């Protein structure tokens, strides 16, 4: 199949690393693993973060022009060079799809969405125009892949009767995170081998990420009677504020590594003892999933889609959102019981292989899309 891929929030080749870019690239990899040809149909960013009605109208007009150009180009192309499916990733009121529905309708091909959310409370508000566009796109969708099951309650009622709502667990290339524990990355940081390493991997920006770091800092302040060292991987415009949140911790308790290339991260996951991340308002948390794939037990916030990528009490311990005391208690439990954290790490790796590998995702995507193409007029 030939698939026209579009990510209205941020294109998959955007230079700034983010979870959105990462998931878009993983989806493309899974689609290609099924033997499909994937074309990036547009790089138009429809994101409006402020609720500016004039900006939304302008983006809608730009999207309509882009759709007309694509329709004209595809119609001129030989039948074998036209897309069989339009695939949009991450659809919500701040980043609607102004292009895909029109192109799919004109070409008579299935319109498919992965990771859509719909908030009825946005009706009539600053994003009303974009909110209506999301509702219309979902009403046209032939299939929606849910990476976060919590989205389905508001999304599925908008789908047409014959549309497919498909569970697609978040995924990655699990084999990239295999490897024996090797403390060398932490030896270079001067961390004693008998000191448990807590690992946090996250961008440093204002809002939910900064709030998560602050909860983590508050939790760790209550655990100074235990041996541990936090290794923080990440960078961003709020780095100064993040570091300030940990400033009153004793010297040597936190090591700041900044941003690291993705290919080096598995070594740090495999070498650490516990992954720690409060995950304030996370959709599901790719870093938590990476930690699970590396066999690392996690302490995380019980928010969003996080419960869908871990097994609370078996591969991770989840704390109520923003509750620093409960988060600290969970970290203390794993610090005090090395055998338990090793068992949880092994269970985490097994679950990642079974449920969250790109091979399983490729099968789910390919089977659904081929069925839609066969059923298309």
CATH topology of domain 174-355: Rossmann fold (3.40.50)
- What is the DSSP code (8-state) at residue 141? -
| Tokens 């498919």 belong to residue | 112
* Residue 18 buriedness (CB in 10 A; 0-12 / 13-18 / 19+): middle
CA–CA separation, 191 and 194 (whole Å): 8
3-state secondary structure of 296: coil
Question: What does the pLDDT profile of the chain (377 residues) look like in tens digits?
Answer: 999 999 999 999 998 877 889 899 999 999 999 899 999 999 999 999 999 999 999 999 999 999 999 999 999 999 899 999 999 999 999 999 999 999 999 999 999 999 999 999 999 999 999 999 999 999 999 999 999 888 899 999 999 999 999 999 999 999 999 877 778 889 999 999 999 999 999 999 999 999 999 999 999 999 999 999 999 999 999 999 999 999 999 999 999 999 998 889 999 999 999 999 999 988 778 899 999 999 999 999 998 889 989 999 999 999 999 999 999 999 999 999 999 999 999 999 999 999 999 999 999 999 999 999 999 87
Residue 304 has what pLDDT? 81
Closest CA to 178 of 361, 375, 348: 348
CATH topology of domain 2-171+357-375: Rossmann fold (3.40.50)
CA–CA separation, 149 and 33 (whole Å): 24
Contacts of residue 347, defined as CB under 8 A and 6 or more positions apart, other chains included, come to: 311, 314, 315
Closest CA to 274 of 362, 216, 211, 197: 197
Dihedral class, residue 204 (left if φ above 0, else alpha if ψ from -120 to 50, else beta): beta
Residue 149 has what pLDDT? 82
Q: Where in the chain is the domain with CATH 3.40.50.2000?
A: 2-171+357-375, 174-355
Residue 310 has what pLDDT? 94
Residue 229 has what pLDDT? 98
Residue 249 has what pLDDT? 97
Q: How far is CA 129 from CA 57, 133, 134, 253, in A?
A: 8, 6, 9, 49
Angle at 148 between CA 5 and CA 296, to 5 degrees: 105
| Tokens 């389905």 belong to residue | 152
Residue 179 has what pLDDT? 75
Residue 308 has what pLDDT? 87
Contact of 64 with 102, CB cutoff 8 Å? yes
């Amino acid at each position: 199949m030939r698939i026209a891929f579009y990510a209205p929030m941020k294109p998959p080749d955007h230079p700034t690393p983010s979870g959105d870019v990462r998931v878009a690239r993983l989806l493309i990899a899974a689609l290609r693993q099924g033997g499909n040809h994937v074309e990036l149909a547009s790089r138009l960013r429809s994101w409006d973060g402020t609720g500016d009605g004039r900006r939304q109208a302008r983006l809608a007009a730009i999207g309509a022009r882009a759709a007309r150009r694509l329709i004209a180009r595809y119609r001129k192309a030989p039948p074998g060079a036209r897309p069989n499916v339009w695939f949009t990733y991450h659809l919500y009121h701040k980043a609607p799809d102004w292009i895909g529905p029109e192109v799919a309708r004109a070409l008579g091909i299935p319109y498919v969405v992965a990771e859509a959310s719909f908030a009825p409370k946005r009706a009539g508000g600053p994003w009303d125009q974009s909110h209506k566009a999301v509702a219309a796109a979902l009403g046209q969708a032939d299939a929606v892949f849910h990476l976060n099951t919590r989205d389905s309650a508001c999304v599925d009622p908008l789908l047409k009767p014959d549309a497919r709502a498909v569970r697609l667990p978040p995924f990655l290339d699990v084999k990239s995170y295999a490897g024996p524990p090797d403390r060398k990355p932490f030896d270079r940081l001067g961390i004693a081998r008998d000191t448990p390493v807590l690992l946090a991997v996250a961008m440093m920006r204002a809002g939910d990420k900064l709030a998560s770091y602050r909860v983590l800092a508050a939790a760790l302040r209550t655990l100074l009677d235990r041996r541990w060292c936090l290794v923080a991987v990440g960078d961003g415009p709020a780095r100064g504020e993040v570091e300030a949140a940990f400033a009153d911790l004793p010297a040597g308790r936190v090591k700041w590594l900044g941003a690291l290339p993705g290919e080096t991260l598995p070594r740090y996951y495999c070498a650490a003892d516990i992954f720690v991340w409060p995950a304030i308002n996370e959709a599901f948390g790719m870093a938590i999933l990476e930690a699970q794939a590396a066999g690392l037990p996690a302490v995380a916030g019980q928010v969003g889609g996080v419960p869908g990528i871990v097994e609370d009490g078996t591969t991770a311990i989840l704390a109520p959102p923003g509750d620093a005391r409960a988060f600290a208690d969970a970290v203390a439990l794993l610090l005090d019981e090395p055998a338990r954290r090793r068992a949880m790490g092994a269970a985490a790796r097994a679950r990642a292989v079974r449920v969250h590998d790109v091979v399983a995702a490729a099968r789910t995507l390919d089977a659904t899309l081929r069925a839609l193409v066969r059923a298309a007029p």
